[in-house]
Structure 1
């Protein structure tokens, strides 16, 4: 009789977030599982807003754990660590964690005298994607390790400067509020102009003059943006509002690289209806999303509002902005006018493009316990509880048949209809106190084909065991970690138990991959 070679036999795929087998305790006293160093760093990195306190960890403790893991793996596994940092700034869209990680990577490699693998210079260059980020990295380095900046850091920054510096970036990011101005950075790293950008030499000289001789610095005549901006700045204050209200005002502001942030200062007066309508055409999609309330307060016309709505809900614009889905929830909660509700709903849907349409029956459990309610960062009013609800709801709406459950000390089903608005369903979620994940799984699992748990994994002690033990071994359990704490609530990496993480929907690509019996690699290696 055949024991193994049967039609029902199925390959057991593996995933990369891997448990070591060592038992830890969660912050709530549950029986947790240690993850290997790469897995711990990955989950921490994709959920980490540097220096931000979470419910169970201070910002300093979290930063120390992050830096320690980066420094360890930079020496023992440089290829993997360099891949993580580049992906983190790119598709992961996390600026500060990647910049800090690159600095710690270089420091650890230099201290260890390590050779081979990706160069320190390449790693620094890979995480600098916006023109203000060379200054961010240098500011972090000098604040942490002093003013002696090593050559690999200087060379990596110089590579980024050649890629990123232009007339428009100079106007937007080279401000007096920065500790490192463009001219300071050029003095420090001695970046030479890109041979394919013959205009860059004049730009660099102007950046240096602008820093050291601001009253006499003259922009290069070849740079139309800088010349146009200088002409606007030379206008008497009493003549400036006439530019805004003129027929070609919007085009003139755009040609001069005038941002919405700078416009109010230039006008030296309020951002009224005319001012907003003049600058809106040159604003980026996420700048539009952040200012919907301001548009309403200024009385922007319905015609202009319609153009804004079309921009913010355009699938290509949403993809290009690479914003986390919860940004659209924040805008929805704070924009007073109903005219933005449907465009934001569409934008949120486009931002969740990677959420798979799962076949069969799916149980989706969303953590709404007290530890999930801390803000994502000091500058955000959004929290992990709402982020979890967004992703859980999107999964349930896409699935062939899903039961959507919120849990804390207690648990309850969240009713929804196919095709219903994600944003409306979110209003049915509440704050449910403690964290009895195990109890929620036991209560609601009814021979589903899979279970997905969106959580920070810090469940309380249960004499029934960890949450994943409540589901038969042949049924996949996927945990989506939104906090990156050290201890996980169950095993991961094989045997139908898998953990992934982050604040975007990209991680869900793993689910259909694993269910087709294929191994799931790290995102940058897939």
Structure 2
């Protein structure tokens, strides 16, 4: 008898609930989900405008819009909380913007007017996002802006518009001045009032005079006015880091301002004021420019501390490691990746972990990224295995094999042992490797093949043993039941929903992670 599952009962519930019916994309018996469950699984993996292996971007986006609209009508409070979590903890910007806009339009079409402003405000957490939302709204619904949209955007503008934000993000079809003229937010104080007026003047080419209350923009204007021939000498001066920081100069703006390469001295001046994600993305550039070891050590320390990097998705660290494989970043990236997976539980007893390495998993999570869903599956599976008390780690596709590992090694090392195994015979892998484990975790897109012996992988495990599926892509039909009877599904590209597993194992119902 297992020592670890006694607290769990078949009555324990989890939020993602399945309904029988349908087929997976590979012809296996499928399980559809209720509306909120389907929206959650799609949203936490949806970059918007991106195709998945089995689903075109247009179809995927249409399904997302439909699900958002249905939930907006039935439970707007849930949708507000979900959008805020999706943008914040899950770190998905575009999906949040689309969900907010589509949710408001659905409610307005249903003559439901209360609470719509909150949907807009919940999605906007960075200063370029008010313009992003207006660009999406006008492309979908025309230039007429309903009051809830104006007021929700206005609420966000008061929180987000600062001098540094204007210096960094004032671009695109809807610039800061456009947003302000369309939504008319009241400034939070006199200094923000000056900023609002200046942003509008700047949009219309009337920005010759910068108010004294805007010191960052005044310092920036002085730098931009320098002759090109004098700019590199300024950057190489001892006080360059401070002058660039006080003027709100990002590395992108400095690259254009210098009109030449960013060498080691330039990077050394820029690094102190660079954001966490900007440093992470530029490790290879630091190496190629020859940034010194002392400066690199400071970058590595920041990577480990994760100061300013709390919402970085785990895959960013694997991408940075592959782009900049030098030894001086390896330990720091390994520690930072582990810190980004804090919600992956340390499971007691014996755990069978199966990682999907079928062909459909080798699809990029975004057209701008070389990272695939297979990479994400390997990261999560490796983290689960390394933290578990005793784990069997298996990769599967049309075949399957156990992956050996040692406790104490890094996730970055372990993920490189996985391969490409073709089709999706999940149930066969479970049957081959389940040996009385206390639980089974499957990290997958759930698109199982249909076979004569049955393709529900959860049916290959005794009913008293919990089976957890971590869904990475959010297709319409899954490979098994979920929500009750020790069969549960979670999902996403971040670690946050993993926190529900310990609740279930303690015999408690698991709610949404927001």
Shared fold, TM over 0.5: yes
Matches within 5 A, 1:364-379: 364-379=353-368
State the alpha-carbon separation in 1 of the partners of residues 210 and 467 from structure 2: 60
Match status 1:451 vs 2:440: yes
SS at 2:441's partner residue?
strand
State the alpha-carbon separation in 2 of the partners of residues 315 and 518 from structure 1: 32
Q: Say if 1:286 and 1:312, in contact at 8 Å, map to a contact too.
A: no
Q: Deviations over 1:401-427 (max 9, x none)?
A: 000000000000000000011111111
SS at 2:478's partner residue?
coil
State the alpha-carbon separation in 1 of the partners of residues 131 and 383 from structure 2: 38
State the alpha-carbon separation in 1 of the partners of residues 467 and 156 from structure 2: 42
Match status 1:26 vs 2:24: yes
Q: Say if 1:296 and 1:336, in contact at 8 Å, map to a contact too.
A: no
Q: Which runs of 5+ in 1 are unaligned?
A: 1-6
Q: 1:336 to 1:416 in 2, by over 3 A?
A: closer
| Matching residue of 1:417 | 406
Q: 1:168 to 1:317 in 2, by over 3 A?
A: closer
Match of 2:104 among 103, 106, 114: 106
Matches within 5 A, 1:291-440: 291-319=282-310, 322-440=311-429
TM-superposed CA distance for 1:462, in Å, is 2.3
Q: Deviations over 1:418-459 (max 9, x none)?
A: 001111111110000000000000000000000000000001
Q: Say if 1:16 and 1:39, in contact at 8 Å, map to a contact too.
A: yes
Q: Say if 2:268 and 2:291, in contact at 8 Å, map to a contact too.
A: yes
SS at 2:468's partner residue?
strand
Match of 1:492 among 479, 482, 485: 482
State the alpha-carbon separation in 1 of the partners of residues 187 and 243 from structure 2: 29
TM-superposed CA distance for 1:339, in Å, is 1.1
Match status 1:255 vs 2:251: no
Q: Say if 2:7 and 2:505, in contact at 8 Å, map to a contact too.
A: no
State the alpha-carbon separation in 1 of the partners of residues 364 and 212 from structure 2: 47
State the alpha-carbon separation in 2 of the partners of residues 93 and 371 from structure 1: 24
| Matching residue of 2:156 | 160
Match of 1:286 among 267, 274, 277: 277
State the alpha-carbon separation in 1 of the partners of residues 108 and 8 from structure 2: 47
State the alpha-carbon separation in 2 of the partners of residues 169 and 365 from structure 1: 44
Moved more, 509-518 or 69-78: 69-78
Q: Say if 2:79 and 2:119, in contact at 8 Å, map to a contact too.
A: no
Q: Say if 2:39 and 2:67, in contact at 8 Å, map to a contact too.
A: yes
TM-superposed CA distance for 1:111, in Å, is 0.5
Q: Say if 1:364 and 1:396, in contact at 8 Å, map to a contact too.
A: yes
Q: Say if 2:350 and 2:390, in contact at 8 Å, map to a contact too.
A: yes
Q: Which runs of 5+ in 2 are unaligned?
A: none
Match status 1:208 vs 2:187: no
Q: Deviations over 1:350-393 (max 9, x none)?
A: 11111111000000000000000010011010000010000000
| Matching residue of 1:169 | 165
State the alpha-carbon separation in 1 of the partners of residues 253 and 223 from structure 2: 12
Q: Say if 1:329 and 1:423, in contact at 8 Å, map to a contact too.
A: yes
| Matching residue of 2:68 | 70
State the alpha-carbon separation in 2 of the partners of residues 284 and 28 from structure 1: 43
State the alpha-carbon separation in 1 of the partners of residues 8 and 214 from structure 2: 63
Match of 2:495 among 494, 505, 509: 505
| Matching residue of 1:523 | 513
TM-superposed CA distance for 1:315, in Å, is 4.1
Find runs of 4+ consecutive structure 1 residues off by over 6 angstroms: none
Q: Deviations over 1:126-157 (max 9, x none)?
A: 11000000000000000011111111101110
| Matching residue of 1:241 | 232
TM-superposed CA distance for 1:113, in Å, is 0.5
Q: 1:490 to 1:398 in 2, by over 3 A?
A: same
| Matching residue of 1:4 | none
Matches within 5 A, 1:18-167: 18-20=17-19, 22-116=20-114, 119-167=115-163
TM-superposed CA distance for 1:8, in Å, is 6.1
Match of 1:191 among 172, 185, 192: 185
Q: Say if 2:8 and 2:504, in contact at 8 Å, map to a contact too.
A: no
Q: Say if 2:8 and 2:505, in contact at 8 Å, map to a contact too.
A: no
Greater relative contact order: 1 or 2 (C-alpha under 8 angstroms, separation 6 or more)? 2
Q: Say if 2:442 and 2:468, in contact at 8 Å, map to a contact too.
A: yes
Q: What is the number of equivalent residue pairs in this alignment?
A: 508
TM-score by length of 1: 0.95
State the alpha-carbon separation in 2 of the partners of residues 189 and 316 from structure 1: 34
| Matching residue of 1:482 | 472
TM-superposed CA distance for 1:317, in Å, is 4.1
State the alpha-carbon separation in 2 of the partners of residues 260 and 424 from structure 1: 31
SS at 1:499's partner residue?
strand
State the alpha-carbon separation in 2 of the partners of residues 95 and 125 from structure 1: 13
The CA RMSD over aligned residues, in Å, is 1.2
Q: Deviations over 1:61-115 (max 9, x none)?
A: 0000000111111112222222211211111111000100100011011111025
Q: 1:27 to 1:232 in 2, by over 3 A?
A: same
Q: Say if 2:8 and 2:506, in contact at 8 Å, map to a contact too.
A: no
